[in-house]
Chain A
């Protein structure tokens, strides 16, 4: 019988529950996060127009680069300032 050592991180990630959906979103502040892929701003500009027409407060954010995770400070700021967030992923 062979005994081997586990090469992995031996962690079992927890399954996170989704936040409960709000029944009414009127009046909420929406964060728009640009991950800094080319033309993500074009998509978000249009979304901002449509959201503002419907009376939502909109705040814009951008990751410094799409190749690295969002800085912790930015994630914290978004969570403090917004009720919802929409992330523009693609080129």
Chain B
């Protein structure tokens, strides 16, 4: 909830003791005589009733919180709730019926003779799932600045969004105010904060616009920090989403998430990691692509600026996480190789497409297995891309990882051996070691002696350089 909502004049409370109740709550019925007793014993009492305007009896200052504004703005979750208000500020609160707590809050002893000592309350109407979203729209919808579009009653919602060319060809979730407000609960950032200037039209993009597109992509609110970080990273000169979008080449952004957040939001790093089936993986990358499409104006096709001759299925959206929990002994997460402390939440972006399979089911020594990778990488070191190796990314699966690790090879050793052998073949000196030359991610199912090569677009300063970017999860 925003501070402006809390400060709403409609929700100002009188000094004294405030009770919020509803008749449809047995505990409120139970404490109704206690409220009357408080008034008789001289307490400055105001009672807000959520349902029956005549409940409870015997109270002079009885107000009907018909639109639930008071309940909403003061975050009432349970009825009865008792508040003490001094100089307009809440100074104490207790929920349900508890004789000691009520006595302490009101300063009156011997309350509710004959009642049990404790009785839990009921849910406040303002948090009833059936209306909580409507309340949020009514009281907080003003923080949203995007243009509202009323779909006609005869319009099919899904079809209406296709017709407005807001989708990537698959259905999108209609971005209603309630859904967008719920999405914004996933970040501490203000809806009007500028996240990035999005190519190709170089439009300043707010947290709100990202949230709208994240709703459409099918994201949950807890994915939003990753999407925001991905938009920031994509729109840097280093990653160069402008060039990636406009090229005739195949590639699109691949997101790799590191750190504890990936597990918390349920990202897949195991079976079918590069494929379909996991909501976070499928929708986070899609949200980034919808931002580029809808906010940046980057659309494919005859009249669009996305000029890819073939494209790739992964351009719908592609996000994975690294299997940090099961890393072989001595291996470090990709984010650590990129220079971040262990445990940092990051999203890395790579301009790629694919995947292409690295198959070797026979080798049992690192020395032999590396040759399968050398063959695959050598086939991709071609003249057009200036014989660079940082336009490739390796996803090493657990069974291949085990073969390397048993011989004591970690990611750095694999990378060094690969560079030395590949560049010796083409008669060039191996480039200086870098975390992204090539980047190595540990992921994939635990059965199958395979790995994956993700081919990429032009790398280096003339094209897209891989970027590893921190995810902001706190204010």
Contact surface of A with B, Cβ cutoff 8 Å: 1-11, 13, 36, 64-69
CB distance from B70 to the nearest CB of A (A): 26
- Known contacts A10-B146, A68-B240; A5/B151 CB under 8 A: no
Contact A3 B240 (CB under 8 A): no
- Known contacts A67-B243, A67-B247; A4/B294 CB under 8 A: no
CB distance from A78 to the nearest CB of B (A): 19
CB distance from A68 to the nearest CB of B (A): 6
Contact B240 A4 (CB under 8 A): no
Which residues does chain A contribute within 8 Å of B198, judged by CB atoms?
9
Contact A2 B461 (CB under 8 A): no
Contact surface of B with A, Cβ cutoff 8 Å: 144, 146-153, 157, 161, 166, 174-177, 180, 198, 201, 203, 205, 208-209, 212-213, 216, 237, 240, 242-244, 246-247, 290, 294-297, 458, 461-464
Which residues does chain B contribute within 8 Å of A36, judged by CB atoms?
462
**Subset of 6 A-B contacts with CB under 8 Å:** A5-B148, A6-B149, A7-B175, A10-B146, A65-B463, A67-B243
- Known contacts A1-B150, A4-B161; A9/B176 CB under 8 A: no
B181's closest neighbor in chain A, by CB?
A5
Which residues does chain A contribute within 8 Å of B296, judged by CB atoms?
9
- Known contacts A65-B461, A68-B240; A4/B201 CB under 8 A: no
A38's closest neighbor in chain B, by CB?
B384
- Known contacts A9-B203, A67-B463; A4/B151 CB under 8 A: yes
Which residues does chain A contribute within 8 Å of B177, judged by CB atoms?
3, 5
- Known contacts A10-B146, A65-B463, A67-B458; A1/B201 CB under 8 A: no
CB distance from B296 to the nearest CB of A (A): 8
Contact B166 A8 (CB under 8 A): yes
> Within the assembled complex, what's the spacing in Å between the Cα atoms of A8 and B290?
9
Q: Which of A2, A4, A69 contacts B242 (CB 8 A)?
A: A69
> Within the assembled complex, what's the spacing in Å between the Cα atoms of A1 and B162?
17
Q: Which of B157, B212, B247, B464 contacts A7 (CB 8 A)?
A: B212
Q: Which of B147, B240, B461 contacts A5 (CB 8 A)?
A: B147
- Among all A-B residue pairs, the 8 with the closest Cβ atoms: A67-B243, A65-B462, A6-B147, A5-B146, A9-B203, A7-B294, A7-B212, A2-B151
CB distance from B467 to the nearest CB of A (A): 15
> Within the assembled complex, what's the spacing in Å between the Cα atoms of A65 and B201?
19
Which residues does chain B contribute within 8 Å of A1, judged by CB atoms?
150-153
Quick one: which of A1, A3, A65 has the most chain B CB within 10 A? A3
